[in-house]
Structure 1
């Protein structure tokens, strides 16, 4: 394959423009055609037969010993015979080299028991001499007498050349000579080789390679085309129609191969009720276009990667009609993907390294899909789109890092410094050991590999991947710019929280997991990205972007002075008002008893449970706390009132004990939470709530996380905690 620099030299702008289609990319087929055309130009060059050749199939044999075995046939006389000259004789074993790639005209047929389409055939690795001798004879006994080859011979002016080979195949003495000479030349050694034929057509003329003779190329083309109309038990799935790639009238084929296995005869979910004989009507593609599309496989495969048991396709191209200068850049990208295959990065990251921040990034588009195989020739295709952009995963990565590093929800020092040098914790925790709770600098990799959702969604066994796996749907949505249903997120989040809480290792409430999930939810809700959607007006506020950047120290200081010096109330008020799903009067229903109020009630109940649980653990030294007594899976509409009553009662009990111990403890423990909860949870009565169970449980879990993190720290404690992490 030509290097990018050599490709540009071989095909200057005018020459390249003449080789490429005029129409912009408008379908997967046209994108595959472009890839196939670039690959063909870079390997086989231009010309009528170039798309049919597979010069890279035997590239590993170049410049290796005994890698080309040539049967030499003299057709210059009245009777076909093997060459008898003293220099090379009937069989010539030599080296396959770069200057012979085009001469042998090799066209590989990827079938275990079939001969290659061309008269040149590629043997298996380290074949024994007797097997190579058989392959050498089959150039005459199989290829020359093949039905498709004979059809071409009957209509071609040089068909007599093929007929001569076929006639020689009946000469047992000649076949014995070929067998003997191959074994003698190899001297008992196994070899990996191409086997081909040279012919002499004129007395005293040169022996000609098959790639230089039109009749051999036409026969090769005929054999390959025959396979495009007879797969999957079709007899002749072809007819005249409009080629979907070029838009021109042409003979189209119905059972051609596809680099992504989308348009197969067995792919009935793509074409319900498909009649394989009439497939050319359902999906018409011309003969030459079909073969060119097949050549796209190397580039297509280089732009894929595997995750969650699926193969993700992320195929770059430029929007509209690309000038040669952009095509050079595309080729450079595809070439790099091939030669750097296995370097550990995804095509998403590679595209960012190449195009991120450049002038042409806005014109860059991607075909995006994920494919899950179930059995041979049967696949499920997810989220197919031609309008993927690098913008979507890149901006999500940036937004998530911003949320955890500088927003008021996770800012490590958002509170007020008092004269006693005390600081109040952020609403939600961060932790350097949790990928989603730090500004990692590698977020794009996390998103593109699916690790971003693997950390927060319910766990599954990837060895038995499910076609309905929501992690796959979420990944494809992020790559393609589609929206993810909030209902899916909440369901997955809650399932994961419950599973982690029930873990036999006894790690307790998944404090950092919930914080990670909420950070992800905030990032996905960014208005400019538009990555969240819902079918319910009640959950509409969850899809809106939080405004924690308004959580400022100056306003906190003012609020703290007004309420007597306690920053906890100010922090809670700010967090609620800057979280659209919790904000007062932000519900989707028309009356005052909004769903937002109910969601806020679930959050506040969780916050009080978390705060009391922390108090029990650190002040009462209890091993089992309210957080354990009221796990997320136990919360339902019918239990809200009971849990609230018991939690408030427990708070008042600890308040009385604290007053006895201190002799003058003012107010109520966690008074800012108790008062807000009382106002919220009684109007309406929880028995009348309309909040969905997943919605209720997630915001309850978020509240527990908030309450467990809601504390005052001294400067020394803060420093020690940071050093421990």
Structure 2
């Protein structure tokens, strides 16, 4: 495959423009055709037969010992015979770069059968007996193939194929080929291509298959024959307008597809499909069909697996392809196929392959495919309008969120929520774009599933495709997934404490998705609309003024101000006359905050192994239990306050707000749904566990003070 530099040198702008489609990419087929064109130009070059060749199929054989076995046939006399010169009837040599085009290999990707071309690729480390048989089959099985014979009958060079077949009917000739192969290999096994050379004139050279049109035409016919007989069709072909090029041509209906979208077995996709008439439903010309097949290398390079599905993220430039954009695109595809383990999103973000001006014109085809048995596939989340903007900006916004006042401490007092450099979503990092583009972003926050038994309804896949294509993720789905993951964490014996880092990661994700410029959250529930709004946390944390000193550990100005600010800057918690459900959500959050405060106090001050956090896990919180849990938690707070002879109620900044919120309206009349209630309760627990000053610099509460 040509390097990007060699590709641009080989095909100047004028030459490349003549090869490119004259219409914009408007469908997946258009995009596959463009990819197939680029792959063909980069590997087999131009010409009528180039799309049919598979020059990369034997790449691993290039310049290796005994990698090319040649049966040499002399047709310069009256009767065909094997070569009798100094090189002999069988020549074992190296398959080199300069022989790739002339050997003209066309692989048939099947466990059994011979390759489409007269050149055949043997299996790895084949023994001499098997290689000898393959060598003779160049004169027997291939030359006697129905499609090959049919081509020979109407081709001016058809006599060459007839002569090979005639030679293959002679036992002495076949014996000479077999013994020649074994002798030249010295009894050793080899991995090789097997082909023929033919001399037509007594004073001429021996010519390779690529130099003889009849061999190339026969190869083309054999490959095309598979496109009209797949899935037991007799002849799924007919004259129609090619849906790719828009030209009238002989079209085929059962051609292969790099993404397995158009299969004869996919009857649910094409109800009532008659395979014989498939060319009417999905007409693709013969040459276009083969070009589409050639797209596979680049398509697979822009594919990655996650959650048991294959995600396709195929870049292209909006509008009719131009040479300048195509050079840029080929560079990305080449790197994806040959150099990098990056996703296409990361490659596009790389400045070496994407200029600032090109960013707005770059588009991506995005889909996820869930494979099943019996060659059936579910396709969902398909769009041609994916843009680098969405995953790139989401990664940027998530990093930004982790550095706002919600996560970054203001001097001696802790931030509302914890951070941890070992948790990918709790610290700004250069890997965030990869996290988003590979699906790891949702793997860390959504409920875990067995990927070996994944299905098309997997919310992680739906969320990933939504983000890649710029569609909004459902808040309702997010909350359900978040809570299920938290409950599983709490039930996990390997998790020793409340999963506060998980909650903080989920909330950071929620905030990033809600960013105004992205608008990646949606809901049909009016009560959840505030959750979809962008929080207004400060990006730069300011040092507290000298006239507003930090408060004492049991609550005071700093703790109360921090709580007040966090609530006011969080749209889902702030008072909103248009969203009365916020009051209930705020009540759940404050209840969680007090449970977190008291539970942490029990741990560090009372040295208790079981705390209120353990006593009231997320899965235990329901509307029916909110009042009871509140009463018990407040009572426990007052008990500890009296036991330490404190002048100020422990965690007064939370208790006072909770008393107000929990009564308006009474929890018995709440309407908030369970997932909403539980997530914001968990967020509150996380807040409470993290609500403390830096103990070394904090003052303590005493009767004297």
TM-score grouping bracket, smaller chain normalisation: over 0.9
2:658 aligns with one of 668, 671, 677: 677
- Within 1, Cα distance between the matches of 2:321 and 2:83? 55
Give 1:615's aligned residue. Answer: 601
Runs of at least 5 residues in structure 2 that lack an aligned partner in the other structure = 700-705
SS of the counterpart of 1:195?
A: strand
Among 492, 506, 510, the residue aligned to 1:503: 492
Distance 2:206 2:314 in 1: 44
1:655-681 CA-to-partner distances (Å, cap 9, x unmatched) read 3333xx24xx04x33232222222222
- Secondary structure at 1:179's aligned position in 2? helix
In structure 1, stretches of 5+ residues that fail to align are 416-422, 589-593, 719-725
Distance in 1 separating the partners of 2:685 and 2:15: 67
Cα distance change, pair 550–687 in 1 and its aligned pair in 2 (3 A): farther
Of 530, 535, 538 in structure 1, the residue corresponding to residue 527 of structure 2 is 538
Give the conservation status (yes or no) of the 8 Å contact 2:409–2:541.
Answer: no
Q: Secondary structure at the match of 1:712?
A: coil
Cα distance in structure 2, aligned partners of 1:240 and 1:432: 63
Partner residue, 2:409: 412
* Counterpart check, 1:74 vs 2:74: yes
2:331–2:353 Cα contact (<8 Å) kept: no
Equivalent of 1:379, from 356, 366, 377? 377
> Who is 2:561 aligned against?
570
Q: CA offsets, 1:466-495, max 9 Å, x none?
A: 332222222222222222111111111101
Alignment of 1:17-28 (within 5 A): 17-28=17-28
Contact 1:93 1:185 in 2 (8 A): yes
Q: What TM-score, normalized by structure 1, do the two folds share?
A: 0.91
TM-score, normalised to structure 2's length? 0.94
Contact 1:587 1:597 in 2 (8 A): no
CA–CA distance in structure 1, aligned partners of residues 546 and 471 of structure 2: 42
Contact kept in structure 2, 1:556 and 1:570, CA below 8 Å: no
Tell me by how many angstroms 1:136 deviates: 1.3
- How far is the alpha carbon of 1:712 from its aligned partner? 3.0
The corresponding residue for 1:722 is: none
Could you tell me whether the CA contact under 8 Å between 1:355 and 1:361 is conserved in 2? no
For 1:92 and 1:655, how far apart are their aligned partners in 2? Answer: 96
Which residue pairs with 2:29 in the alignment?
29
Deviations 1:337-381 (A, max 9, x none): 22215xx43332222224466321222112222223222522222
Kindly indicate whether residue 5 of structure 2 is the aligned counterpart of residue 5 of structure 1: yes
Q: Using the TM superposition, give the Cα deviation of residue 546 of structure 1 relative to its aligned residue in structure 2, in angstroms.
A: 0.5
Please give the secondary structure, in 2, of the residue aligned with 1:142: coil
Q: Does 1:43 align with 2:43?
A: yes
d(CA) in 2 for partners of 1:51, 1:486: 47
The match for 2:346 among 336, 344, 349 is 349
Aligned pair count reads: 696
How far, CA to CA, are the matches of 2:43 and 2:386 in structure 1?
29
Q: CA deviation at 1:294?
A: 0.8
Corresponding residue for residue 713 of structure 1: 694
Indicate yes or no: 2:441 matched with 1:452. yes
Partner SS, residue 197 of structure 1:
strand
The reply to whether residue 266 of structure 1 matches residue 276 of structure 2 is: no
Pairing of 1:5-404 with structure 2 (within 5 A): 5-79=5-79, 81-341=80-340, 344-353=341-350, 354-355=352-353, 358-404=356-402
Give the 3-state SS of the residue equivalent to 2:311 in structure 1.
Answer: strand
Higher mean Cα deviation, 488-497 or 454-463? Answer: 454-463
- CA shift at 1:551, angstroms? 9.3
Distance 2:561 2:461 in 1: 40
1:604 maps to 590
| Cα gap change, 1:670 to 1:187, in 2 (>3 Å) | closer
Question: Taking structure 1 as reference, are residues 210 and 356 closer, same or farther at Cα in structure 2, changes over 3 Å only?
Answer: closer
In structure 2, C-alpha distance between the alignment counterparts of 1:172 and 1:14, rounded to whole Å: 54
Where do 1:466-545 residues align within 5 Å? 466-505=455-494, 507-545=496-534
1:699 CA drift (Å): 0.5
- The answer to whether the Cα contact below 8 Å between 2:82 and 2:173 also exists between their aligned partners in 1 is no
**2:613 pairs with one of 627, 635, 651:** 627
Q: Is the 8 A contact 1:153 1:162 kept in 2?
A: yes
Query: Is the 8 Å Cα contact of residues 20 and 321 (structure 2) preserved in structure 1?
Result: no
For residues 277 and 662 of structure 2, the distance between their equivalents in structure 1, rounded to whole angstroms, comes to 65
1:698 match: 679
Root-mean-square deviation (CA), in Å?
2.4
Change (3 A) 1:629 1:66: closer
Deviating more after overlay: 616-625 vs 109-118:
616-625
Q: CA, structure 1 residues 541+5, in 2 after alignment: closer, same or farther (shift >3 Å)? A: same
Q: 1:648 to 1:475 in 2, by over 3 A?
A: same
| 1:714 to partner: Cα distance | 4.4
CA distance in 2, matches of 1:556, 1:605: 30
SS of alignment partner, residue 72 of structure 1: strand
Residues 259 and 300 in structure 1, CA contact (< 8 A), matched pair in contact too: yes
Equivalent in the alignment of 2:576:
585
Moved more, 21-30 or 200-209: 200-209
| Shift in Å, 1:633 | 0.4
Q: CA distance change for structure 1 residues 505 and 473 in 2, over 3 Å: closer, same or farther?
A: same
Please give the secondary structure, in 1, of the residue aligned with 2:372.
Answer: strand
